């Protein structure tokens, strides 16, 4: 495809009304913001800004994550980060996002999760008042936490009943942590009973058994990744039968070597098997991607028509935890795409 055609397609996908349901706030730091904060704090940068997001391996990546989150140590900085996230949504043509945040990564906010939520809410609210897209929070447990720590978090979320918080989430390396569904089943059951939605990372570092546990033990309303369900046709059938959507992140899966190439990626096989799939960025800054590019990658690989793109975008809206009015508006706009 020549450059003008690529540019036109990217513009069209930017204009596509859509939601994003699998994106981590920890993965949206812009080097310019981090450099500014580091200078203000008198903290050394790990490397120059132009190479800040070049990682030498997993240990380097994890060290960077701790460093970056550690800089966001004031309410104003969290609000700035939330506002910048909404600016990113607007640039991508995304009308709404469920954004995941894991409090264990944010050292300055340990024991102050409520204050953290309120600081982020201030940034999101300011963005909404300026006409930018809106977002809600999915508060995530880490797989290495205990059942008691999970229960404490659920108790707090239920007590606070903060309108910015949409869901309980869980993330972390399943391959390293082992099977954790039984450990967190009670916390997720109580979260669901209290009206919180439930979204679960599974089927990335774990195989299809992780997806089954997410469904049967954690009561997942939505699964983050879920792609390795393709390895068990019974799990694929279960997803399709129950209509549980997957928040799939193609570039992330390729970068982390879940699949060797986009041709080998199962998103299209899952879609054709009746599984509801959406396209997402996961960690857009760290992976140097954006949502239109993720759609473009799937479209160019699998030959998605406008009708299929609309179907996937509609799934993203339906699978989101947005309110009914936001969903209705986005779907009304989607019905008019493409405009030419």
Catalytic sites, residue numbers: 204
Quote the tokens at residue 264.
């080998």
| Axis-axis angle for helices 306-319, 291-302 (nearest 10) | 140
Pairing of strands 94-101, 197-202: unpaired
Long-range pairs for 229-233 at CB < 8 Å and ≥24 separation?
Answer: 229/203, 229/270, 229/275, 230/266, 230/269, 230/270, 231/207, 232/207, 232/208
- Helix extents (H) in 144-219: 147-160, 174-177, 181-193, 208-216
Phi, psi of 211 (to 5 degrees): -65, -45
- Helix extents (H) in 206-305: 208-216, 233-242, 250-255, 267-272, 284-287, 291-302
**What Rg, from alpha-carbon coordinates, does the chain have?**
19
């Amino acid at each position: 495809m020549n450059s003008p055609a690529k540019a036109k397609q990217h513009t069209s996908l930017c204009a596509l009304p859509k939601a994003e349901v699998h994106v981590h706030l920890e993965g949206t730091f812009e080097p310019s913001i981090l450099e500014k904060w580091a200078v203000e704090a008198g903290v050394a940068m790990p490397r120059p800004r132009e190479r800040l997001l070049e990682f030498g391996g997993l240990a380097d990546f994890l060290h960077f994550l701790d460093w970056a989150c550690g800089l966001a140590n004031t309410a104003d900085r969290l609000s700035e980060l939330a506002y910048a996230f909404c600016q990113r949504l607007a640039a991508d043509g995304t009308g709404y996002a469920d954004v995941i945040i894991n409090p264990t990564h944010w050292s300055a906010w340990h024991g102050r999760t409520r204050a953290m939520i309120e600081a982020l809410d201030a940034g999101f609210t300011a963005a909404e008042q300026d006409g930018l897209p809106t977002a809600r929070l999915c508060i995530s447990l880490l797989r290495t936490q205990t059942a008691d720590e999970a229960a404490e978090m659920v108790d707090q979320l239920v007590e606070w009943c903060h309108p910015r918080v949409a869901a309980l989430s869980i993330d972390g390396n399943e391959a390293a942590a082992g099977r954790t569904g039984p450990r967190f089943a009670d916390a997720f059951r109580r979260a669901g009973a209290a009206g919180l939605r439930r979204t679960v990372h599974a089927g990335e570092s774990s195989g299809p058994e992780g997806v089954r546990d997410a469904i049967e033990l954690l009561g997942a309303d939505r699964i983050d990744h879920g792609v390795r369900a393709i390895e068990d046709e019974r799990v694929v059938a279960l997803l399709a039968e129950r209509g549980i959507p997957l928040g799939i992140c193609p570039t992330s899966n390729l970068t982390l070597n879940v699949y060797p190439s986009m041709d080998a990626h199962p998103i299209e096989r899952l879609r054709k098997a009746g599984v509801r799939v959406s396209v997402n960025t996961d960690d857009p800054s760290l992976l140097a991607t954006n949502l239109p590019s993720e759609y473009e990658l799937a479209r160019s690989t699998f030959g998605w028509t406008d009708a299929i793109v609309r179907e996937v975008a509609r799934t993203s809206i339906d699978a989101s935890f947005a309110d009914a009015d936001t969903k209705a508006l986005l779907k009304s706009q989607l019905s008019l795409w493409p405009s030419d």
